[in-house]
Structure 1
Amino acid sequence: MNEFNKEVTVSQPWDMAGVDGLVAARALFGEAVDHLAPFQSLETELDGLPCAVLRLCDRNFRVTYPGPLDQRVAALNLSLWVKSLDWLGAVALPGEGWPAIAALATVRAPHRLTPLPLHRAVPAQVNSISVLIWHHPMGSRSGLELHLARHQIETFWALIQAFNHSSVSLTTAHT
Structure 2
Amino acid sequence: MKTFGVLGGSSYFIFGEEDPLKNHFLSLDSGSRIEALRLLGLTGVEGETAEYHYYREFIPWLESITKQPYSRTCHLVTGMLEEMAAFLRVERLVPYSPSSLMFEIIKAFNSDRIESERDLTYLTRYKKLFTFLEFIDSQKPFSAEPSPQFRSFEEQFQESVGLLERICSQQSRISH
TM-score, normalised by the number of residues in structure 1:
0.28
Q: Which has the higher strand share?
A: 1
Larger radius of gyration: 2
Q: Normalising by the residue count of structure 2, what TM-score does the alignment of the two structures yield?
A: 0.28
